[in-house]
Amino acid sequence: MDGDPAAVLGRAQRGDEEAFRALYRAVHPGLCRYLRILVGQDAEDVASEAWLHITRDLASFRGDLDGFRAWTATIGRHRALDHLRHQRRRPVADAPAEWFPDRPAPDDTAGAAIEAEATDAALALIATLPRDQAEAVVLRAVVGLDAKAAAAVLGKRPGAVRTAAYRGLRTLADRLGGQV
Amino acid sequence: MGKQQGRRIDRHTAEQVLRGARVDAPDALTGLLAAAAAPPRDGELGGERAAVTAFREAARHAHARRPRSPSMIKSRWAKLLTAKVAAAVGAVFVLGGVATAAVTGALPLPAGGSAPAPSTSRPAPSAAVPPATPATTWTRDESGPAHPPAPSPSLVGLCHAYRAGDKAEHGKALESPAFTALVTAAGDKSKVDGYCESLVEASPPPHATGSPAAPPSAGRPDNGKDHPAGPPDSHPAGPPDTRPTGPPATHPTGRPTR
């Protein structure tokens, strides 16, 4: 809708509200799914806090859209870790559904709901991994970062992130293989 | 189901899978990742209004003061990933456009920018706080924010996810935030197995109710509209200390959705 992503980012940085909306729509879902790995259903709230920060510093950001995704993920991650520190005692109620990859849709109208559930269930299953593995998998496969960018977000070396993601996938494959 | 159940994926395959490439990996695994990266639903963009409000506020403040240059930004970010596949990014925008149509159609925004800024305080769990966004409602069919998801289907779902896991990993799995509700409901980590057993057996086959899409938690109305730019104690994003200077990998960013 807004043409070239780099232009959208630049326009948003100069204060163009429509461009900012486009940017938000492109970035927020992945960011929020990543945060769900960290804070469960509080992800939307944490993401809101992250967006306050992002909007405040948006004008000074330097980089392209991929850099922007990584930057926002870094901000979101710090907010999430703060949140966890403050909210340890409060139960986090998440509401994932079951992961049934082969389950047929009961009917057409339920199809969309099931797709939505599949996303939630997939994230819930990924969230059962050790956190470093879960983060690595989601930053790469959902947010769309490469190993280096994901490593920057996590404050690790790319090799460590590759290994964590690999172990995570292996565990997931085992669990899925054992389920059906 | 999987073509290669019992065979473990190797590192190379894992890397390909993470990049969204079609590879000879177990179907269930690629399906899982595809589901995790599926296009956004309307409910996932519920915070847009609040974000736009914050954006306006920030723009207003920018006129008053020079934006300080945040320490988190390094110019090397500019070098990062410049060659990533533009088409994939474009695809994300197309999806965004679809979502836009859905969202903007449902969301007339106040022109004056006078909407309350989003909270900077620690929010209550969103299921307990219906977003009483003034005047506008989310056309998110019947499962609107007034109806927090019924606990039982999600607990059943949690049980399925939990039981799908490796038994040896159960202890660790229960430390995940995703299962906190389950542990709470069961009373104790050690009781989860029994709890799930009885729950799953007692419950009817799962259906599409209790959709876990959280109510949009945009526009939390519960506090003031000033200082939207100053979440307290914010110290996010010190510069990532690893340096992404190398040549960008060539995987597409928006994961192809299948």
Q: What is the mean pLDDT of residues B69-81?
A: 45
Q: Do B38 and A102 make contact, defined as CB atoms within 8 angstroms?
A: no
Residue A118: predicted pLDDT: 87
Most confident option among A34-38, B25-29, B58-62: A34-38
* Greater model confidence, B176 or A54: A54
Nearest CA in chain B to A163: B11
Structure tokens at A46: 């944490």
The percentage of residues in chain A with a pLDDT greater than 90, rounded to a whole number, is 73
Q: What is the mean pLDDT of residues B121-125?
A: 43
Which residue, chain included where needed, has tokens 């003061």?
B65
- Contacts of residue A171 in chain B, CB cutoff 8 Å? 166, 169
Residue B8: predicted pLDDT: 76
The verdict on A108 touching B (C-beta cutoff 8 Å) is no
A124-128, A165-169, B172-176: least confidently modelled range: B172-176
Chain A interface test: which of B15, B57, B75, B77 (most A C-beta within 10 Å): B77
Q: How confident is the model at residue B97 (pLDDT cuts 50, 70, 90)?
A: low
- Contacts of residue A48 in chain B, CB cutoff 8 Å? 47, 50-51, 118-119, 123, 217-218, 220
Distance between CA B127 and CA A67 in Å, rounded? 33
Mapping DSSP to helix (H, G, I), strand (E, B) and coil, where does residue B194 land? helix
Residue B45: predicted pLDDT: 87
Q: What is the mean pLDDT of residues B234-253?
A: 44
- Burial label for B201, CB within 10 Å (0-12, 13-18, 19+), is exposed
Q: Do A126 and B251 make contact, defined as CB atoms within 8 angstroms?
A: no
Q: What is the pLDDT of residues A14-39, one digit of tens each?
A: 999 999 999 999 999 999 999 999 99
Q: Residue A173 in contact with residue B26, Cβ under 8 Å?
A: yes
Q: What is the pLDDT of residues A89-116, one digit of tens each?
A: 555 544 444 444 444 444 555 666 667 7
Task: Please name the amino acid found at residue B2.
Answer: G
The verdict on A104 touching B (C-beta cutoff 8 Å) is no
A7: closest CA of chain B, how far (Å): 12
Of the candidates A17, A52, A100, the beta carbon closest to that of B231 is on A52
Mean pLDDT, chain A, whole residue set: 86
Q: What is the pLDDT of residues B170-187, one digit of tens each?
A: 666 666 666 666 676 676
Of the candidates B159, B177, B246, the beta carbon closest to that of A94 is on B177
A85: closest CA of chain B, how far (Å): 12
Residue A46: predicted pLDDT: 95
Q: What is the pLDDT of residues A37-51, one digit of tens each?
A: 999 989 999 999 999
Q: Residue B218 in contact with residue A130, Cβ under 8 Å?
A: no
Distance between CA B162 and CA B181 in Å, rounded? 12
Q: Do B216 and A40 make contact, defined as CB atoms within 8 angstroms?
A: no
